[in-house]
Amino acid sequence: QSVLTQPPSVSGAPGQRVTISCTGGSSNLGADYDVSWYQHLPGTAPKLLIFGNTYRPSGVPDRFSGSKSGASASLAITGLQPEDEADYYCQSSDSRLNGDVVFGGGTRLTVL
Amino acid sequence: EVQLVESGGGLVEPGGSLRLSCVASGFTFSAFDMAWVRQAPGKGLEWVSYISGGSVTKTYAASVRGRFTISRDNAKNSLFLQMNSLRAEDTAVYYCAREIGYDANANYNTYFDSWGHGTLVTVSS
């Protein structure tokens, strides 16, 4: 049972837009902790996509965007491409865990 | 280019020990906090442990506290995880990650901007 809740799976056709939600509570996202997002293909190093709710590291396409409102956050991917098929994780911190890092359970994105 | 390369994984019996290593390159290692994150088979990412740049602060997830010890050797650009009293549920790919911390909204926030490819630890008899 992850502290941050994500849908197990989402899907979309090439070129479409998909969103992945991340729902927390009053001790993490609702307590104004920022959220980050990662892309992970099995057997590879996870890749940072979004930090500080909305910021993209250099090299991450602007097809990826993040937002946060209250205890919920979202990752949006526009212009879906086959290579976007991967697992996506949100991450924040939790005051009930002394500020320790918490991850969402992950969402598998399938490009149809 | 930032590179993190883990090693030391393998098969170990329940109750046994293992020491993981992570060698860093491409950045001033001592200036950055580091962490270990793991992924059990079929599961999501789980934060394991954190160490500050100068080793002053170390924190652990409840699931490993008292059994795992994080350390670093800044002269050798290396991060370590000593794992004792291993259990079947510790079976996972272990990643080392560079951690970035900052203050915002009266909170101390963190994220991981670079990761290694991981090393597999299997605890089984």
Q: Which residues contact B40 (CB under 8 A, 6 or more apart)?
A: B46, B89, B91, B92
What are B81-115's pLDDT values in tens digits?
A: 999 999 999 999 999 999 999 999 889 999 999 99
Interface touch B47/A103, C-beta < 8 Å: yes
Nearest CA in chain B to A98: B59
Interface touch A38/B108, C-beta < 8 Å: no
Q: What is the pLDDT of residue A55?
A: 98
Whether the pLDDT of residue A7 is over 90: the answer is yes
Per-residue confidence band for A1, with pLDDT thresholds at 50, 70 and 90: confident
Closest CA to A99 of A30, A26, A27, A5: A27
How far apart are the C-alpha atoms of B55 and B78, rounded to whole Å?
A: 12
Q: What is the pLDDT of residue A87?
A: 97
Interface touch A51/B61, C-beta < 8 Å: no
- Report CA-CA distances (Å) from B15 to B20, B86, B89: 16, 5, 12
Closest CA to A107 of A79, A86, A82: A86
**Residue A97 phi/psi, 5° resolution?**
-115, 30
B10-12 and B119-123 strand pairing: parallel
State the DSSP code for A4: B
Nearest neighbour of A99 by CB, restricted to B61, B108, B117: B108
Nearest neighbour of A100 by CB, restricted to B47, B97, B113: B47
Per-residue confidence band for A43, with pLDDT thresholds at 50, 70 and 90: confident
What are A51-65's pLDDT values in tens digits?
A: 999 999 999 999 999
Q: What is the pLDDT of residue B4?
A: 98
Q: What is the pLDDT of residue A42?
A: 81
What are A87-110's pLDDT values in tens digits?
A: 999 999 998 888 899 999 999 999
> In which order are the strands placed within the sheet that holds A72-77?
A18-23, A72-77, A64-69
Question: What one-character-per-residue DSSP string does A10-63 give?
Answer: EEE-TT--EEEEEE--TTTGGGT---EEEEE-TTS--EEEEBTTTBPPTTS-TT
